[in-house]
Structure 1
Amino acid sequence: MKRRDILTALGAAPAALTLPRLASAQAWPNQPIRMVVPYAAGGGIDAVARLIAKAMGEDLGQSLVVDNRGGAGGMLGAEIVARAAPDGYTVLFAGNPELTITPWLQKASYQPLVDFKPVELVSQSPSVIACLPTLGAATLRDALAAAKKRPGGITIGTPGNGSPMHVAVELLRAQSGLDIVHVPYKGAGPATVALLGGEIAFALVGAPPLLPHINAGKIQALAVTQPQRSPLLAQVPTIGEAMGFMKDVDFVAWYGLLVPAKAPAEVVDRLQKSAASALAQPAVRERLQALGTDPVAMPAVPFAERMKTESAQYQQIIQRFQIKAN
């Protein structure tokens, strides 16, 4: 074609000029995606993240590479993603401590409800208060009374300051009037080991590290800190049932996928569909339950609303009972 004919053809079809941009958008993802997990490798959230990353990678046709960036109670990894380019190639797989709790306990360099766009709430784990069977108590009330009489008193270990379990301990102390000592550890695993070793009277942690020991009869589950009983521990009462108060509290640990706030809507939509597809796989759901976490599959809009509501609830509790990070 002559130069004049080419220009005429382009002028007659201006929509063609947009094809390169559309092709570029449709090509996402055309490289591996970095999934930042704000905790060290080997923990409960890391295991869930790797399971979801593998399933999503198969669906998207690109690997989701887990990048463990622990530190500052989960805030370090969250900060990395908040500052990342909003192109969909850096995503956050995080829990509620760094998104709805810790920013109320200490200064954070990001605003969870402003700097992130929720994609999919993946799963949630019941928080369980447990003791050793040697305490000789059948209920939580009796166990607390028995521990009160022993050397060391009522010591409750949690995964650390700023965790949902930390807030639950402080609320239990305030509403029961008991002299409870909070013992923070660097994760649920170390707190579980401390309980098994008799260093503390109780552990209040997420279910994953406790379940094998509960099933083996080495640890006794006394209550879950949520409004309804958990399918994972259907025989275990809620803390409201066990104590007669704290009936509406919901101190579960949840895990979800988020992106920087300015990520394109089409990228968020594609990620959400991929996560939902992964969670619909029976093998993935079975593995999640084996890890001690219940599949949720909550999409972006209700996930964002849950973050907003939960953040306000934790703010109120933390300020009312003057809970401190240390």
Structure 2
Amino acid sequence: MQRRTVLAALGASLATGMGRAFAQSYPGAPVKMIVPYAAGGGIDAVARLMAQGLGEALRQSFVVDNRAGAGGMLGAEAASKAAPDGYTVLFAGNPELTIAPSLHGKAPYAPLSDFIPIMLVSQSPNLLVANASLGAKTLRAALEAARKAPGGITIGTPGNGTPQHIAVELLRSQLGMDIVHVPYKGAAPATVAALGGEVSFALVGAPPLLSHLQSGKLVALAVTQPKRSPLVPDVPTLGEALGLMRDDDFVAWYGLLVPARTPAEVVQQLEKSAAAVLQRPETRAKLVALGTDLVAMPGRQFAERMRLETKQYGDIIKRFAIKAT
């Protein structure tokens, strides 16, 4: 019995020593950062900013690998099946991490158990905007003007099953108004539709809207989150704009994760390095320029947010029978 105890203690000591040695030498080779969307989008821009920062902090290349497809699930699945050694990380958003499992019935991965959250980096406010030609400066006035116009109240979003689509369904229920959801294939086409008058409103993330808000072609009427966004502090929340009792949190967020069973020492090193990158003033300034608000939420709180949001979206998807297509 004593011999077994000694051997067990020796084994634990060796494992701890090897773990520390591995962490000290990590990363000893380039790290692949999987982004489950095509290059050039909002999440890709934030991912590349973080890849550059982490590469500088850890003195090793972080190479972005865009794996677009299946609404973000293709890349997330690839990351979930990667070796848990710290040399594959995932930079993903809430569509594939908190919405997909409920929306598709069963995703090819389990976000809450197949990944270890490292850092929730930033979030982009979703803005409800209208074409300036509608002649309304407040949401209530815009809704009334659209209701009387040919075509009625139509809201374009980046697609079925997106956070914006879910927000539209909840808004229709809260207001009891005849609102038609018009799905597009991305935020850019939905923005163009609002500019061209195809829809009376668009509900999309901030990045493709900012230049049109500055030019005055589009008017921002509300953000779909509990507090105003520092990015557009003059834009009220839906609750403020409509006098609702509560504001639900429908934002697009971006975070860094690793496959489950990645060594704790590597997880800690990545979290520490990501926090250092986000503390840099130049990183914060670049995030603002990209149309996203700094969050810098550590792994433990990030995991809890994923858990709570998964339930929130799951309940709404079931309640309104929302489908992906």
**TM, length-normalised to structure 1:** 0.92
Deviation at 1:195, TM superposition (A): 1.4
The separation in 2 between residues aligned to 1:203 and 1:218, in whole angstroms, is 13
**Any idea what the Cα deviations from partners look like across 1:156-196, whole Å, max 9, x if unmatched?**
11112222111001111122122222122222122112211
The separation in 2 between residues aligned to 1:83 and 1:246, in whole angstroms, is 43
What SS is found at the alignment partner of 2:63?
strand
What SS is found at the alignment partner of 1:30?
coil
Deviation at 1:244, TM superposition (A): 2.0
1:74 corresponds, among 63, 72, 75, to 72
What SS is found at the alignment partner of 1:230?
coil
Deviation at 1:16, TM superposition (A): 9.2
In the alignment, residue 68 of structure 2 is paired with which amino acid?
G
Deviation at 1:20, TM superposition (A): 7.0
Deviates more, 1:109-118 or 1:244-253: 244-253
Deviation at 1:313, TM superposition (A): 1.1
2:33 corresponds, among 32, 35, 38, to 35
Q: 1:18 to 1:215 in 2, by over 3 A?
A: closer
The separation in 2 between residues aligned to 1:180 and 1:58, in whole angstroms, is 48
Deviation at 1:53, TM superposition (A): 0.7
Q: 1:214 to 1:18 in 2, by over 3 A?
A: closer
The separation in 2 between residues aligned to 1:270 and 1:153, in whole angstroms, is 53
Note if contact 1:157-1:191 (Cα within 8 Å) is conserved in structure 2: yes
Q: RMSD of the TM alignment (CA)?
A: 1.9
Partner of 2:242: 243
What SS is found at the alignment partner of 1:110?
coil
**Any idea what the Cα deviations from partners look like across 1:44-90, whole Å, max 9, x if unmatched?**
11111101110110011111111111111111111110111111111
Deviation at 1:314, TM superposition (A): 1.1
Deviation at 1:245, TM superposition (A): 2.1
Aligned residues: 314
Deviation at 1:149, TM superposition (A): 2.1
The separation in 1 between residues aligned to 2:14 and 2:209, in whole angstroms, is 59
* 2:161 paired with 1:162: yes
What SS is found at the alignment partner of 2:65?
strand
**Any idea what the Cα deviations from partners look like across 1:233-259, whole Å, max 9, x if unmatched?**
111110011112262300011100001
Alignment of 1:1-326 (within 5 A): 23-106=21-104, 107-245=106-244, 247-326=246-325
Structure 1 runs not aligned, ≥5 long: 1-12
Partner of 1:8: none
> Structure 1 segments of 4 or more deviating over 3 A?
13-25
What SS is found at the alignment partner of 1:195?
helix
Q: 1:27 to 1:155 in 2, by over 3 A?
A: same
What SS is found at the alignment partner of 1:31?
coil
**TM, length-normalised to structure 2:** 0.92
Q: 1:131 to 1:16 in 2, by over 3 A?
A: closer
**Any idea what the Cα deviations from partners look like across 1:201-224, whole Å, max 9, x if unmatched?**
111011111111111211100000
Deviates more, 1:15-24 or 1:48-57: 15-24
The separation in 1 between residues aligned to 2:180 and 2:198, in whole angstroms, is 12
Deviation at 1:101, TM superposition (A): 1.1
Partner of 2:6: none
Q: 1:108 to 1:20 in 2, by over 3 A?
A: closer
The separation in 2 between residues aligned to 1:228 and 1:190, in whole angstroms, is 27
The separation in 1 between residues aligned to 2:19 and 2:131, in whole angstroms, is 62
Note if contact 1:95-1:255 (Cα within 8 Å) is conserved in structure 2: yes
Note if contact 1:73-1:162 (Cα within 8 Å) is conserved in structure 2: no
The separation in 2 between residues aligned to 1:20 and 1:151, in whole angstroms, is 70
What SS is found at the alignment partner of 2:46?
helix
Deviation at 1:279, TM superposition (A): 0.3
Note if contact 2:130-2:194 (Cα within 8 Å) is conserved in structure 1: yes
